[in-house]
Amino acid sequence: MSGTADRPVVIVGAGVSGLSLAVRLAERGVETVVVERESRPGGLARSFCYDGFTFDIGPHRFHTYDPAVERFLRATLGSSVREISRSSKLHFRGRFYPWPLHPSLVLLRFPPGIALGVVRDLLRGYPRHHAASFREQIIGMYGETLYRHFFEGYSTKFLGLPPELTHVDWAKTGVDRAIIDSRLKIQSLWRLAWTILATWKRPELDFLYPAGGCGQLAEILAARVERLGGRVLCGHEVDRLEVAGDRVATVQVGDALLEPSLVVWTGTVGSLAAGLGLPVPALTYLPLVCYNLMLTDGAPHDFQWCYHGAADVVFSRVSVPTRFDPGNTPPGRRSLCVEVTCGADRSVWDDPASRVERVLDDLVRERLLRSTAEVIGVRTERIPWAYPVYALDYRDTFAAFRQATGRYCNLLLGGRLGLFWYNNMDHCIEASLELAEQVLDRLGPGASR
């Protein structure tokens, strides 16, 4: 046994992963303390509210094929859950296309030269072999033409890392998670085309969304933890980890000294390494700046979010909050959440305000604004650890880190940051519900009261 039930389980990070785990443990009578550096719970699932406008950190919604996750979400949100259909698009050379791409749209609406290239790729086919990089995987899946004209530029702009130096997992997770629909198989361009054609009249996916913004889920979960006797300490960082033998003996949080039965770390790998006195691994997270635009009334966009791959456009994705919940904007107003990643150009992170004019100009050029006169106000939010960056050697680096932290018998890793794992929120919940069972097993029979 690596823990005891008479001391708290300390969970570092009050994102969806940490809070879902804390709720499930608290429901079983386990004393739980959640430590969160931000002033509010939610992590990447926070919402920002100003002047009657609500903005999430990009497009957040839930779709799951796991009945346990759906039951958890519906039980948590209750009457505040909204059911919405997906409408996502891709902007390419001045036109908007439904995403995922339908082969007929590529052939009929793409520029003739590109459509012809896609046909050649279909006829030629690509040998299926072990791919090491994002470039190899995407060419094998979508062909040289779509790779060269969209995926190459988008990935380079988004990550600030050349596709040939990006691990294949970025294609397997990033593209898969963007498509979401398990009915669409992307092992090859032929398979994708056939599957889409075979499900041509398929209904669009349904999603669950918390009324009032995605951050409502985190607020509800945090309140439930505390009602069940747990603690959620926001605005606090872990100041020190004290190790005794093969255990994390104490967790210093401000003036409080916690003696944990188990520690579940959903924060960054770098902060954990520093706390344990280990070498900080060469694993980086991609920062993100959200430009939240409050707009006058006008023609609403017919999508929830849209990908923008052009290299000379500063942003990568734009979402429309009112398409998730009309209550996210005041009556007679619109809004846009514009995401700018800070991979290649860290000056955006250092001074987001200096890019506002460029963002607005690009929005007009991409036909998301008719003119900058529509803008009532712009607020910027900096998200320091938005995405794990999958360099070619990241697996070996992370495996070495897990081995180093594995020596501590009461320490577990979890969440998007702690596991260096790009995922959607429903995957976070699924993994946390499974992790709760592992924690209960480690604590032994006395954990449930």
Residue 61's nearest CA partner among 188, 216, 182 is 216
Higher-confidence position of 98 and 3: 98
Question: CA 212, CA 244: separation in Å to the nearest integer?
Answer: 45
Q: Is the pTM of this model over 0.75?
A: yes
Residue 431 has pLDDT above 90, yes or no: yes
Out of 59-63, 232-236, 319-323, pick the least confident.
59-63
Residue 185 has pLDDT above 60, yes or no: no
Out of 96-105, 187-196, 232-241, 309-318, pick the least confident.
187-196
Mean pLDDT across 401-424: 94
- Tokens representing residue 104 in the block: 């007929």
Residue 104 has pLDDT above 70, yes or no: no
131: how many CB neighbours lie within 10 A of its CB?
Answer: 17
SS3 content of the chain, % helix, strand, coil (to 5): 40, 25, 35
| pLDDT tens digits along 163-183 | 999 999 998 776 654 443 444
For residue 94, the model assigns a pLDDT of: 87
For residue 103, the model assigns a pLDDT of: 60
Report CA-CA distances (Å) from 204 to 84, 102, 200, 305.
10, 13, 10, 15
Residue 292 phi/psi, 5° resolution?
Answer: -95, 115
- Tokens representing residue 145 in the block: 């033409």
Angle at 64 between CA 62 and CA 65, to 5 degrees: 170
Out of 95-99, 212-216, 294-298, pick the least confident.
95-99
Mean pLDDT across 278-305: 92
Mean pLDDT across 144-162: 89
What is residue 11's three-state secondary structure? strand
Residue 114 has pLDDT above 80, yes or no: yes
What is the band of 444 on the pLDDT scale with cuts at 50, 70, 90?
Answer: confident
| pLDDT tens digits along 232-273 | 999 999 999 999 999 999 999 999 999 999 999 999 999 999
Residue 195 phi/psi, 5° resolution?
Answer: -65, -40
Higher-confidence position of 449 and 280: 280
Q: How buried is 354 (Cβ within 10 angstroms: 0-12 exposed, 13-18 middle, 19+ buried)?
A: exposed
Residue 3 has pLDDT above 50, yes or no: no
| DSSP state string for 335-374 | EEEEEEE-SS-THHHH-GGGGHHHHHHHHHHTTS-S-GGG
What is the band of 184 on the pLDDT scale with cuts at 50, 70, 90?
Answer: very low
Contacts for 407 with CB less than 8 Å, ≥ 6 apart? 246
What percent of the chain has pLDDT above 90? 68
Angle at 221 between CA 305 and CA 428, to 5 degrees: 55
For residue 143, the model assigns a pLDDT of: 85
Mean pLDDT across 391-403: 96
What percent of the chain has pLDDT above 70? 88
What is residue 433's three-state secondary structure? helix
Report CA-CA distances (Å) from 373 to 315, 352, 354, 377, 436.
20, 20, 19, 10, 51
For residue 19, the model assigns a pLDDT of: 98
Question: CA 408, CA 122: separation in Å to the nearest integer?
Answer: 51
Q: Are 18 and 234 in contact (CB under 8 A)?
A: no
Higher-confidence position of 86 and 379: 379
Out of 107-116, 149-158, 314-323, pick the least confident.
107-116
What is the band of 221 on the pLDDT scale with cuts at 50, 70, 90?
Answer: very high
For residue 30, the model assigns a pLDDT of: 96
Place of tokens 């951050």: 215
Residue 53 has pLDDT above 90, yes or no: yes
Q: So what's the architecture of 285-388 in CATH?
A: Alpha-Beta Complex (3.90)
Average pLDDT, the chain: 88
Mean pLDDT across 396-425: 95
Q: Topology of 9-49+61-84+210-283+392-447 in CATH?
A: FAD/NAD(P)-binding domain (3.50.50)
